[in-house]
Amino acid sequence: MLKRYKNEFLSVIQQAGLDPLDFVAVETTYDGQLVFMLRYKETDLKFIARNDGQNSHSFLYSYTPFFPGQRVRMVGYLPEQGYDSFKTVLRGFQSWIADHVNECIADESVPDLWQALQAGAFLSEKSVKEHDESFFSEPEKVQIKIALISFQQATVEQFHPSADQLVAIEKQINYLSDAVERLNRFDWKGVAISTLIGICTNLGLDTERGRQLYGIFQQAMTAVLHLLK
């Protein structure tokens, strides 16, 4: 494919507000034919353009649609009437970006609440068995707040949250820290469980990594766990 045509794909990606580094561009073979292929990240989303063997300005194109959780084959070559101009390919590429890549990006940005629920389900196994409605003493409050600072630092080191995720985590832990001033032991443990599930959701952790987060929490709170029994 002529370089000027390859460059126009890059322009479309930039105009769509996407990062060109999220796409891998290669010339490869598909169905025994040489094609120019663009792949979005490590997903199965691909777009290919194929030259007419007799005309470097005439093309067909194909793509894989976005269907999460399924292995999807490429659609048949378009346009159906046969080779057409590069403008037709670009329109197809713009539609693929808008209808499939953007849908994939939107889906990636939504936390999997079912995974978060599974990751957090074990938190309640032994956490709130005794209905202790006594309040924390002043020294106990200080110990818990120090432990929560340690937990936050260890969480950042382990999971490397983005700037937005970090802000959300700080708010959640600050809320939990402030809650020791007004909640009894039983209610505070309930808020702690909700906070951990919220952090799991915010970080998009699966069940195993959710357990790692809880392990970090347990380790940070080791010195004060006797306060929560």
Domain boundaries, the chain: 3-108, 113-228
**pLDDT greater than 90 at residue 28:** yes
Instruction: Enter the tokens of residue 225.
Output: 């766990």
- Tell me what pLDDT residue 79 has: 94
- Tell me what pLDDT residue 219 has: 85
CB neighbour class for 209 (10 Å; exposed up to 12, middle 13-18, buried from 19): middle
The winner for highest mean pLDDT among 9-13, 200-204, 205-209 is 9-13
* Residue-wise pLDDT tens digits, 155-190: 999 999 999 999 999 999 999 999 999 999 888 988
Helix (H, G, I), strand (E, B) or coil at 124: helix
Q: Rounded to whole angstroms, how far apart are CA atoms 132 and 54?
A: 82
pTM: 0.57
Instruction: Enter the tokens of residue 112.
Output: 């999997």
Q: Rounded to whole angstroms, how far apart are CA atoms 115 and 107?
A: 14
**pLDDT greater than 80 at residue 7:** yes
